Amino acid sequence: MHDLVIRDGTVVDGTGAPRRAADVAVDSETITMVGPGIGRGRREIDGRGMLVTPGFVDIHTHYDGQATWDPYLTPSSWHGVTTVIFGNCGVGFAPVRPGTAPYLINLMEGVEDIPGTVLAEGVSFDWESFPEYLDVLAAAPKVMDVGAQMPHGVLRFYVMGERGADHAEVPDAAEIARMGVLLEEALHAGALGLTTSRTTKHRARDGRLTPGLSASEPELFGLAAAMNRAGRGVFEVNSDFGPGDFEALRAAAAVANRPLSVLLLQVNNAPDLWRKTRAQIHAARAAGLSVNGQVGCRPIGIMMALETTSHPFSTHPAWTAMEALPPAARFQRLERDPQLRRVLIEELPDDEHTRTIGQAFGRTYVLDEAYDYEPHTSSSLAARAQAQHRSPWALALEALMANQGKGMLTHTFENYTEGSLEVVREMLVDEATIMGLGDGGAHVCTICDSSSPTFLLTHWARDRSRGPQLPLEFLVRKQTRDTAAAYGLHDRGIVAPGYRADLNVIDFERLRLCKPEVVYDLPAGGRRLTQRAQGYRHTFVAGTETLCDDEHTGALPGRLLR
Ligand SMILES: [Zn+2]
């Protein structure tokens, strides 16, 4: 008698192999049999008409803080994710000296848009070293497995003090050696990698650029040598890929003799740069290095609603004058006062934010129930306004006020320069890429792409109408075996005997993303965007059911990966 048998499901096993009808047996935490006619289970699940997939592995998240206060790690746990890795992009919360947490909060707040008040109240900081932080994570109850990485910006600040916060400051030989020792210690204690940011998109809240932005070869090589000594860990980098950047990172990865994983996306001011980076990745792989590009599966979308961080009117004096009011009261005023609406639309402030928004209307769309994340540019706010001979600002205000003030707009600011997802398809089919831009736990009130695992399946294998779809088997592999393997997690990501029983049972016909919403459930009453899904009948983490019909069961079987 098995502990669990999922009977007659359609198994998409994570290897890319064609789907097949099979039973899946689980005993304790492990998949023990996959095939036809398996014997009885103490619990039986009717898998007819359901997909049975490995649990999803999301390697690019920022749950560094949330993992210490929210055992459910939403939104990811609503989307079939059973393993998350955080500490990406050079930001995080360890190591930390007593009294210096405010700088780390300032860095995380600026880079990843997690409010400082939320972090100050939510993160206990009752650790100093990275191994101590890992111990706190290990002890925290959690719905899924989590893994942490050593953030370069934080390590730099710990070793160099205030100087470390300034990317132009160069560490001396002793400081580089000290960083190396701490990194090696963290990797031995269970850190899954070293991460850094070399993008000017990343600024601390105080306006300073990210600490590792211009770290030069001696510093990078010193860290790489520590990875080499430890013989473990992935080197993750978010870079603008200016001249010489990839070469320096490639050289560091060679010194480390460890995998290099870089973010790969299309930016509007250099729409073909990602192709150059991809060619560099391919060349490095051909030379025998382990390098991959982390890609997304939809436009990186800035969400705008009356309650989000940024929206078309968020710097307008008539709006900021109402900022102290609760959201419902603001909406009532908007509704009752035509003069207020006229001022918002017609008397635009002459500021950077308003200019940027105005220029982005050609890439801004109404995000309603029907929105499919691959909109025609003819449905942009700018195009609609032109067709209707109206002001795009008027349309924007109407859209935000829809649905009792809960209406939303989305600005497709990356991965959508040409107004279609063909470019993303090109990224997805490339064998040198893995799934990776979800950013769960970050950008809490501007972006909500941690729902991407669901979108990957619904859009690319079922709903896409504007171009070719992709095989379901390939997509599942991309979010399971491939992401797991990228971090050396060879015990998961495949439905086969001997693998961890991290499993999803999905009603694929019914699978859908719900509309994003703003909720106020962060520490200190902080707000965030979240997005749920429908169609996850069951999710199992190491054989324990964590989600049933899209709701948490309350079980918290997750562990820290070391
Ligand atoms: Zn990131």
Q: Look-up: residue for tokens 């939320």? A: 118
Sign of the dihedral through C-alpha 185, 191, 197, 203:
negative
| CA 197 to ligand 1 center in whole angstroms | 9
| CA 62 to ligand 1 center in whole angstroms | 7
Q: What pLDDT digit, counting tens, does each position of 69-89 carry? A: 999 999 999 999 999 999 999
Three-class SS of residue 235? strand
Q: Within 190-244, where are the H helices?
A: 217-230
Copy the structure tokens of residue 154: 């934080």
Alpha carbon distance 112, 202 (integer Å): 8
| CA 300 to ligand 1 center in whole angstroms | 12
| CA 534 to ligand 1 center in whole angstroms | 26
User: Rounded to whole angstroms, what are the CA distances from 375 to 220, 303, 457, 561?
Assistant: 41, 15, 18, 39
Q: What pLDDT digit, counting tens, does each position of 489-507 carry? A: 999 999 999 999 999 999 9
Identify the pLDDT of residue 445.
83
| CA 510 to ligand 1 center in whole angstroms | 31
Q: How confident is the model at residue 207 (pLDDT cuts 50, 70, 90)?
A: confident
Copy the structure tokens of residue 58: 């999301």
| CA 9 to ligand 1 center in whole angstroms | 35
Q: Check whether the bond before 327 is cis (ω within 30° of 0).
A: no
Copy the structure tokens of residue 5: 């048998």
Identify the pLDDT of residue 447.
87
CB atoms within 10 A of CB 160: 20
Task: Provide, rounded to the nearest whole percent, the portion of the chain with pLDDT above 70.
Answer: 100
DSSP for 40-69 reads -EEEEEE-TT-EEEEPEEE--B-TTTHHHH
User: Rounded to whole angstroms, what are the CA distances from 487 to 74, 179, 292, 507?
Assistant: 22, 22, 11, 29
Three-class SS of residue 238? strand
| CA 391 to ligand 1 center in whole angstroms | 36
Alpha carbon distance 144, 134 (integer Å): 15
**Do residues 287 and 318 make contact, with C-beta atoms less than 8 angstroms apart?**
no
Q: Look-up: residue for tokens 């070391």? A: 562
User: Rounded to whole angstroms, what are the CA distances from 509 to 114, 366, 512, 535?
Assistant: 35, 25, 9, 8
| CA 89 to ligand 1 center in whole angstroms | 5
| CA 436 to ligand 1 center in whole angstroms | 9
Query: For residue 484, how many C-alpha atoms fall within 13 Å in the half-sphere facing its CB?
Result: 26
**Do residues 367 and 409 make contact, with C-beta atoms less than 8 angstroms apart?**
yes
| CA 337 to ligand 1 center in whole angstroms | 41
Beta 533-534 vs 512-513: how paired, if at all?
A: antiparallel
Residue 266 has φ and ψ, to the nearest 5°, of -95, 120
Alpha carbon distance 310, 445 (integer Å): 8
| CA 401 to ligand 1 center in whole angstroms | 31
Give the burial class of 234: count Cβ atoms within 10 A of its Cβ; 0-12 exposed, 13-18 middle, 19 or more buried: buried
Interacting residues of 378 by C-beta distance below 8 A, sequence separation 6+? none
* pLDDT score of 113 more than 90: no
Alpha carbon distance 241, 303 (integer Å): 26
Q: How confident is the model at residue 206 (pLDDT cuts 50, 70, 90)?
A: confident
Average pLDDT, the chain: 96
| CA 61 to ligand 1 center in whole angstroms | 6
Q: How confident is the model at residue 419 (pLDDT cuts 50, 70, 90)?
A: very high
Residue 33 has φ and ψ, to the nearest 5°, of -145, 145
Q: How confident is the model at residue 309 (pLDDT cuts 50, 70, 90)?
A: confident
**Do residues 29 and 543 make contact, with C-beta atoms less than 8 angstroms apart?**
yes
Q: How confident is the model at residue 367 (pLDDT cuts 50, 70, 90)?
A: very high
| CA 324 to ligand 1 center in whole angstroms | 31
* pLDDT score of 444 more than 90: no
| CA 369 to ligand 1 center in whole angstroms | 28
Q: How confident is the model at residue 205 (pLDDT cuts 50, 70, 90)?
A: confident
Q: How confident is the model at residue 204 (pLDDT cuts 50, 70, 90)?
A: confident
Residue 408 has φ and ψ, to the nearest 5°, of -135, 150
* pLDDT score of 251 more than 90: yes
What integer is the mean pLDDT of 137-157?
97
| CA 33 to ligand 1 center in whole angstroms | 37
Give me the count of residues in the chain: 562
Tell me the residue type at 338. P
| CA 437 to ligand 1 center in whole angstroms | 7
| CA 384 to ligand 1 center in whole angstroms | 33
**Do residues 147 and 561 make contact, with C-beta atoms less than 8 angstroms apart?**
yes
| CA 64 to ligand 1 center in whole angstroms | 11
Q: What pLDDT digit, counting tens, does each position of 176-193 carry? A: 999 999 999 999 999 999
| CA 66 to ligand 1 center in whole angstroms | 15
Q: How confident is the model at residue 151 (pLDDT cuts 50, 70, 90)?
A: very high
Alpha carbon distance 504, 361 (integer Å): 39
| CA 41 to ligand 1 center in whole angstroms | 42
| CA 513 to ligand 1 center in whole angstroms | 22
Interacting residues of 379 by C-beta distance below 8 A, sequence separation 6+? 365, 366
Three-class SS of residue 544? strand
Alpha carbon distance 409, 432 (integer Å): 33
What integer is the mean pLDDT of 499-525?
95
| CA 173 to ligand 1 center in whole angstroms | 29
Task: Provide, rounded to the nearest whole percent, the portion of the chain with pLDDT above 90.
Answer: 90
Identify the pLDDT of residue 536.
98
Three-class SS of residue 506? strand
Identify the pLDDT of residue 111.
82
| CA 59 to ligand 1 center in whole angstroms | 10
| CA 533 to ligand 1 center in whole angstroms | 23
| CA 212 to ligand 1 center in whole angstroms | 14
Q: Look-up: residue for tokens 């940011």? A: 197
More confident residue, 213 or 48: 48
| CA 480 to ligand 1 center in whole angstroms | 19
Three-class SS of residue 284? helix
DSSP for 307-348 reads TSS--TTTT-HHHHTTTTS-HHHHHHHHHH-HHHHHHHHHS-
Q: How confident is the model at residue 524 (pLDDT cuts 50, 70, 90)?
A: confident
| CA 438 to ligand 1 center in whole angstroms | 8
| CA 193 to ligand 1 center in whole angstroms | 14
| CA 86 to ligand 1 center in whole angstroms | 8
Identify the pLDDT of residue 110.
85
* pLDDT score of 264 more than 90: yes
Q: What pLDDT digit, counting tens, does each position of 212-230 carry? A: 988 999 999 999 999 999 9
| CA 165 to ligand 1 center in whole angstroms | 18
Q: Within 20-151, where are the H helices?
A: 66-69, 101-112, 116-122, 130-139
More confident residue, 113 or 167: 167
| CA 440 to ligand 1 center in whole angstroms | 9
Three-class SS of residue 507? coil
Q: How confident is the model at residue 538 (pLDDT cuts 50, 70, 90)?
A: very high
Q: What pLDDT digit, counting tens, does each position of 372-387 carry? A: 999 999 999 999 999 9
